[in-house]
Amino acid sequence: MDPVNKIDPNGNETIASELAAMGIDQENEKIQTPTGIRAYQKATKMAVCNMGRLTFTTVLASAGGHHVWPKFMGGPELQYLAELTPGVHKVLHKLIYLIAKNEPLLAELSALGGANGSEEAWNKVMSTKAGRETVLRVLRQATGIIDRWCGFVPPATLTNELEVMLK
C-alpha cells in the first residue's frame, strides 16, 4: 500500500474506499449510515454477512472456505473453514493487511503472502514469541471487527474459532 496516497498498488483502490463501500469506518469501527440510505445499507449488510450467520465446514479441510488463521501466517493446513461471502472475505483480508502494516514487526512484509510476505517470511516472524503475539493480535483485531460488523454471535464467530485453534 502506498501510505502517502493510501492506494492499493494492485487494484488502484484505497483501503478506506473498500471499507467504506462495505459500511465500515476504519477509524472507529462503526457503521456509517446516512439517514437517506439506512435501509439500503442494512439490507446490503445482511446479504453480505449472510444474515448474521456464520458457518464452518463440518470436517477439517485445506480448501473451500476462509482459513480463520491464514496458512501463510502460520496457521495449520487443516482447519474448520469459515464460509464467508466473497465481499466479507475480501474486506477481512484488507483489514488484516491494513492492521499488519501498522505493526513494526510486520511492516517489512510488504504484502500478505506476496513478495517479501512469503510463507517463509511469515514463518520466520512466527518463530519468535513477539512475532507470534503480534500476528495473533492482528488476527484477533481483524476478526473482531468483522464479527461485530456482521453481528456474528458466539460461539459461531471468527474470533472464537481462532481461540479454539490456539488451545
Average of per-residue pLDDT across 80-106: 85
Give φ, ψ of 2 to 5 degrees: -80, 105
* Measured distance CA(38)–CA(71) in Å, rounded: 37
Average of per-residue pLDDT across 134-149: 91
**Could you tell me if residue 61 is inside a domain?**
yes
Average pLDDT, the chain: 73
**Could you tell me if residue 40 is inside a domain?**
no
Task: Tell me what pLDDT residue 30 has.
Answer: 44
Task: Tell me what pLDDT residue 16 has.
Answer: 54
Residue 140 belongs to domain spanning? 51-166
Is there a contact between 11 and 113 (Cβ–Cβ < 8 Å)? Answer: no
Render pLDDT for 6-57 as a digit per residue (tens, 0 to 9).
Answer: 445 555 555 555 555 555 544 444 444 444 445 545 555 555 676 667 888 7
Task: Give SS3 for 83.
Answer: coil
Task: Give SS3 for 24.
Answer: strand
Average of per-residue pLDDT across 148-164: 88
Place of cell 439517514: 35
**Could you tell me if residue 95 is inside a domain?**
yes
**Could you tell me if residue 83 is inside a domain?**
yes
Share of the chain above pLDDT 90, in %: 11
Task: Tell me what pLDDT residue 103 has.
Answer: 87
**Could you tell me if residue 74 is inside a domain?**
yes
**Could you tell me if residue 140 is inside a domain?**
yes
Q: Per the structure, how many domains does the chain have?
A: 1
